[in-house]
Structure formats: C-alpha cells, structure tokens
Chain A
C-alpha cells in the first residue's frame, strides 16, 4: 500500500480543477453570454428610436415593437400555434425518417467494405445535388401534400447523419477494438460496448447539423405550396405585403431552431459527459 500511495503523489498533474484553463472556462460560463446580446439589442433599440423620430420609413422594415406586436397577436389568435404545429410535425417526421435511414446506411457502409464499395459512390453522387433541386420531381412523384415535404426534409437530414456515422465507424480506434477482442467480446457486444459509444460524439454533432438542415428544408418544402406552416406564413406575408408577419415568422423559426438544437445539446451533454472533464461537473 505504501508504494501505491507514493504513486499517487508522483502521477503527472492531470487536468483536474485548479488548472488555469478551467478557471477561464468557468468565468466565461457565468455572465459572458450576455455580451452577445449587446449588439442585437443596441441595433433594435436604435432602429426603434429612428422610426419613432420619423427618420425611417417603417412600411417595409417595421420597428421591433411592431414585429413583436404581430408575433403576440398571431400567438394570441392561436394561428401561430397552428402554423408551428404544422411545421414542427413536418420537421419531426422528416428528421426521424432521415436519421433512421442515415443511421442504418451509415452503419452498414461504415462496417462492411462490400456495402461501402456498393453504395457509397452513389450516395456521394446524390449528395452533390443541391437538395432544393429535388423539389420539382418530388412534387411530380409524391404530390404537393405532406409526403413530398416530409421526404424532402428527410433527404436533407439524411446526408450529414450518413456521412458522419460512416466516417466515425471507419476511423474507429483499432486499439479499443483490440481491448474488446482481448476480453473476447461477441460481435454484438463489440458493437454495443465499443463501437456505439465511440461513435456517439460524431453522431451527436451530425444530429445537430441534420436538424439545422431539417429546419432549412422545411421552408423550401412549405414554399412548394402549403396551406399552413411557418413557410406558408412567410409566403403569405410576401403576397399581402405584410412585412411584420414575415419577420414574426422568421422570429418563430429562430426560436424553434434554437430550442430544438438546445434539446439535442442537453441530451448530448449528458450522454457525452465523459468528454467535458475539463469543465467542472459538480
């Protein structure tokens, strides 16, 4: 025991608390994020003042107060909730489909060389097509209703997930696999206990990228012709010359995108808590 106690003392100083890097991180995590609010708030207040003083024509570029008022009015009438529900539903369904397909095919091409040789070139070719270019043919094939919209979103979500998972499995640390072999893990146990956790960091980044693209493509999808949804609200605002309505729906997009992304970050921070050992956990 005496030798092990001595060993504890002579271990190299690890990245444990007290490290200057950690200290800086803590300070930034406190109120530092408020700094980022200064510029947008100043611009908003400045423009508001400019409109009030009559320096600016407010018909095409409404002041923040009008945008917020429109937003509140839409929310109060229940109309905003209806549009958000429609858009969220499409994004959710497309996201689930895209993630499922990307995960299955990414795992397949990452694991099996034959599948990679067979499938990967085609996916790489398809990936280079701007996804908006699919819109006309999707409408022809799947109609102008929900199916074509959901599929377009799924296509957008698919590629980042597929690419990241396939690459993460290919670049997996052989050394950890060998540890699994030394302990005679079965194929299934190797996947569950080594492969899956090792690819999770890349996978979560891909989920965030995929979700971002999902929000992007839902707008394109709803431009194809929709009777409800935030994308419809955008085109409606354009047709009726209602700038506050356009900006209010943009605001809604920003809030929803941020909130859903934050949800993934929350989950990933928990699942990947072993990664941020540089940040204090308690």
Chain B
C-alpha cells in the first residue's frame, strides 16, 4: 500500500503512529485485531535516513534489533538479510564508509532481519539520487515478492507509489484525510513507461491537483498548474 500526498498533510505522522513511536489523540491502529500503542516486533520501520549506529559495523547494525535471539540464529538471519540486500561483502565496513544507497539498504536489512509481518517505509528513498532510487525500488519489489509482508510506503513520489503498491491512498488537506484510493493490479515487475501505468499516474496527479485546487482560494500562487511540474519532477 502506498500513501502519497503533499508535504505537511500528515503522511509521516500517520506512519509514526502506526509504528507506535507517536501517541494518538483519537482513533486507533489495529494489527490482527490488537491495538498498537508502542513499537511492536511484528512491525518493522525504515526511516527517510538510514539511521545506522555509526559505531557499529554493518553486520552489527543489521543485528541491532535481534539481540535476544540465540547467537547461531542471529548469525544466519543476519547473513541472509545481508545477502538479500547485496551487502555481504560490506558486513565488516563502518556506516561512514558506505554510500547513501548502500546505507539505506543496510537500514532495510535491519528492519527485515526481525521478519516483521508489517513493514513501514517512511519516504525511504527520497534522499537518494534518481538512479540509486530506481534501483532500490526494483530491489524492494524483489524482496517483497519473497515473503510478501504488508508494506506501507509513505512517499511524495507518485511513480514510486505506483511501481510498488497495489493500493495508493491519496492524502490531502490539513488536517490530512484520505481522499482517494487508486488500485493498481498491473503485473510485476511493472513497466514505469506503460500506458496503464501512466494513466494511473495521471489519475493520482489529478486527485492531488484537486486538493490544491480546493485550497487555491488562499492565494494565486497555489494554482493547479503549479503542482504538476512539482509532482513530475519528484517522480522523475
């Protein structure tokens, strides 16, 4: 599931509430019928930045959350996670030695190693350059296809949301509300240039545009035309 929306509409806050990092003022988050009010082992989280502990090697960072497991189990899980994100040969490196894309993959491995049934991704690739980002999106799709956790991806990159999600929720307004849901059942791996893909992308753009249009009474700067280059630039 992908969540897109303009900045400041509460996408990240929603995710932080779902992860149990932030408290609720009303409503609730349910996982298998149980309320989530604090971080939970079944819920993994990847932040916008890698957030690796700089004093731990990549291997130690990936193992950070599974201290309680027996050593042999820990070892095999970390080996596997590192292999899955392609960082096996960097296991002994320090985070400061890694590029942004590699560090973010290590961060993904750290979340995967706990084998969560829900994976929350908070704009995980937005700080990366376009090439690395596209590669990591491919990679995430591969990883997902292996054991298919529920993934909630918050992003402002419409193409990224469409490429990875079965459902894209469009969030807008202040306070933020889910205003539209766009379903995407294209076969994987998806072709970013395909006609249906592009049509869905236009549909989501229109939904976002709509939200800006409704606010355009505030000032002339927020014209619908103004949002399109912004959104496509992000998607490129």
Contacts and interface: CB of A to CB of B under 8 A. Distances in A.
Interface of A: 1, 3-8, 10-16, 175-176, 178-179, 181-184, 189, 193-194, 197-198, 200, 272, 274-275, 277-278
Given A12-B101, A274-B55, 13 more contacts: A8-B86, A11-B98, A11-B99, A11-B132, A12-B100, A175-B47, A175-B49, A181-B21, A181-B39, A182-B65, A198-B55, A274-B94, A275-B96
29 contacts: A1-B86, A3-B142, A4-B85, A5-B86, A6-B135, A7-B86, A7-B105, A7-B135, A7-B136, A10-B132, A10-B135, A11-B98, A11-B100, A11-B101, A12-B101, A12-B129, A14-B98, A15-B97, A175-B49, A176-B53, A179-B47, A179-B51, A182-B21, A182-B44, A184-B41, A189-B67, A274-B54, A274-B94, A275-B54
Interface string B40-76: 1100110101010111110000001101000000000
Interface string B15-41: 000010100000000000000001111
B102 A183 contact: no
A15 B132 contact: no
The interface centre, meaning the residue of B45, B53, B129, B132 with most chain A CB atoms within 10 A of its CB, is: B53
A220 to B, nearest CB: 37
Contact of B53 (A178, A197, A275): A197
Interface residues of B, number: 41
A127 B139 CA distance: 55
Contacts of A184: 38-41
Given A8-B86, A274-B55, A183 B64 contact: yes
Contacts of B99: 11-14
A186 to B, nearest CB: 11
B55 A197 contact: yes
B79 interface: no
B19 to A, nearest CB: 6
Interface of B: 19, 21, 38-41, 44-45, 47, 49, 51, 53-57, 64-65, 67, 84-86, 94-102, 105, 114, 129, 131-132, 135-136, 138-139, 142
Interface SS of A by simple majority: helix
A183 B55 contact: no
Nearest to B134: A10
Contacts of B53: 176, 179, 193-194, 197-198
A20 B135 CA distance: 28
A200 B132 contact: no
B140 to A, nearest CB: 10
Nearest to B40: A184
A6 B132 CA distance: 10
A7 B21 contact: no
A135 to B, nearest CB: 41
A3 B144 CA distance: 14
The interface centre, meaning the residue of A1, A7, A16, A184 with most chain B CB atoms within 10 A of its CB, is: A7
The interface centre, meaning the residue of B21, B54, B56 with most chain A CB atoms within 10 A of its CB, is: B54
Contacts of A179: 47, 51, 53, 64
Nearest to A183: B65
Contacts of B86: 1, 3-5, 7-8
Nearest to A180: B64
Contacts of B105: 7
The interface centre, meaning the residue of B86, B95, B101, B105 with most chain A CB atoms within 10 A of its CB, is: B86
Contacts of B102: 8, 11, 14
Contacts of B84: 4
Contacts of B139: 3-4, 7
A6 B146 CA distance: 19
Contacts of A197: 53, 55
Contacts of A182: 19, 21, 39, 44-45, 65
A178 B138 contact: no
B98 to A, nearest CB: 6
A183 B94 contact: no
A182 B47 CA distance: 11
Contacts of A278: 96
A10 B98 contact: no
Contacts of B55: 197-198, 200, 272, 274
